[in-house]
């Protein structure tokens, strides 16, 4: 297989998981190479995402690493053989790579969770609301790039609209719903959009109201993309220096716990719809 100049986050995840399996087996790259009859450089390239790996070689490595988790091996094999060139590829070279990686991650997700405190989550946003958010970015974006970002965000909604949509749950703080982004008209239309989407069977929106006790320490906004194999879940967070893709088992466990805690404190979907209806009337 040829080398890659810029592996995607999904390709890097496969590489990282293979490295983790080898480390768990207590084998060096040279020893792993000997098992396949290749040199250690090839193993290093596979484990850095620079080179792909065939399904046959992947399964051989997993067997040598004494990995007995068949579901995990099957999932890794699917990642290794995936040749999907999704709609997001049209933005390559035009938008930051993290935008494309998020779209690819969502495309392959078994389910999606969002927790947001200041803005309506991207998958629920209207075009005008999204444009207003990107217009406030510092430093200011050129108009053509801003419109590319808006269009990309709108296309991401395909995971909720396709014939077999992703199961989606959003926990949205009251503050995010009350902040007027783009003015009254845009904000009112945004609340209507959230209510419309929340009617779908595969979408659940829960409001985190202001009047909760003991909530100050739970402020982890996140995008959580779940896989059929929990070990391959991913958390995405926006940090001060860019977008972070989090995949260590320990950290994933922490974010699952945080999500469940916030979910338990939030209003149920029916009460959340009533809450949003009241907010819309106040605008």
pLDDT band at 216 (very low <50, low <70, confident <90, very high): low
Contact present, 81 and 55 (Cβ < 8 Å): yes
User: pLDDT at position 138, please?
Assistant: 82
- Tell me the angle at which helices 40-47 and 9-25 cross, rounded to the nearest 10 degrees: 130
Per residue in 234-258, pLDDT tens? 999 987 778 999 999 999 999 999 9
Give the CA distances from residue 121 to residues 117, 139, 271, in Å, rounded to whole numbers and listed in that order.
9, 22, 19
Backbone angles phi, psi at 246, to 5 degrees: -105, 130
Alpha helices in the chain (DSSP H): 9-25, 29-36, 40-47, 55-64, 70-81, 97-108, 127-135, 143-155, 158-161, 174-178, 184-198, 249-265, 269-282
Contact present, 154 and 259 (Cβ < 8 Å): no
User: pLDDT at position 218, please?
Assistant: 64
Q: What is the mean pLDDT of residues 269-283?
A: 96
In which element (H, E) is residue 224 found?
Answer: strand 222-226
SS3 state at 237? strand
In which element (H, E) is residue 112 found?
Answer: strand 111-116
Contact present, 126 and 115 (Cβ < 8 Å): no
Q: What is the mean pLDDT of residues 8-20?
A: 95
What CATH number was assigned to the domain covering residues 96-282? 3.30.870
User: pLDDT at position 6, please?
Assistant: 84
- 51 DSSP 8-state letter: B
Per residue in 156-211, pLDDT tens? 999 999 999 999 999 999 999 999 999 999 999 999 999 999 999 999 999 999 99
Architecture of domain 9-81: Orthogonal Bundle (1.10)
Mean pLDDT, the chain, integer = 94
Lookup: tokens for 18 = 């293979």
In the chain, residues under CATH classification 3.30.870 are 96-282
Report the distance separating Cα 110 and Cα 123, nearest Å.
16
In the chain, residues under CATH classification 1.10.260.40 are 9-81
Report the distance separating Cα 121 and Cα 100, nearest Å.
17
Instruction: Return the minimum-mean-pLDDT range out of 12-16, 153-157, 218-222, 278-282.
Output: 218-222
What angle is formed at CA 192 by the lines to CA 186 and CA 193, rounded to 5 degrees? 85
Residue reference for tokens 């579901």: 71
Start-to-end Cα distance in the chain? 58
């Amino acid at each position: 297989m040829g080398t890659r100049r810029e592996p995607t986050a999904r390709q890097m995840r496969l590489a990282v998981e293979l490295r983790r399996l080898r480390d768990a087996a207590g084998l060096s790259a040279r020893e792993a190479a000997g098992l396949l009859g290749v040199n250690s450089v090839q193993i290093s390239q596979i484990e850095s995402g620079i080179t792909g790996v065939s399904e046959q070689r992947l399964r051989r490595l997993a067997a040598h690493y004494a990995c007995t988790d068949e579901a995990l091996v099957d999932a890794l094999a699917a990642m290794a053989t995936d040749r999907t060139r999704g709609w997001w590829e049209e933005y390559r070279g035009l938008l930051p790579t993290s935008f494309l990686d998020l779209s690819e991650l969502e495309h392959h997700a078994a389910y999606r969770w969002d927790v947001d405190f200041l803005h309506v989550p991207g998958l629920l946003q209207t075009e005008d609301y999204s444009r207003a958010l990107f217009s406030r970015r510092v430093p200011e974006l050129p108009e053509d790039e801003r419109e590319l970002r808006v269009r990309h965000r709108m296309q991401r909604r395909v995971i909720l609209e396709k014939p077999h949509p992703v199961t989606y749950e959003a926990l949205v703080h009251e503050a995010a719903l009350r902040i007027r982004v783009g003015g009254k008209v845009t904000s009112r239309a945004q609340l209507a959009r959230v209510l419309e989407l929340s009617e779908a069977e595969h979408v659940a929106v829960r409001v985190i109201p202001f009047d909760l006790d003991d909530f100050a320490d739970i402020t982890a906004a996140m995008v959580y993309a779940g896989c059929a194999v929990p070990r391959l879940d991913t958390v995405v967070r926006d940090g001060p220096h860019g977008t972070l893709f989090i995949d260590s088992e320990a950290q994933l466990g922490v974010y699952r716990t945080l999500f469940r805690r916030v979910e338990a404190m939030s209003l149920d979907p029916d009460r959340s719809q009533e809450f949003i209806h009241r907010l819309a009337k106040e605008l």
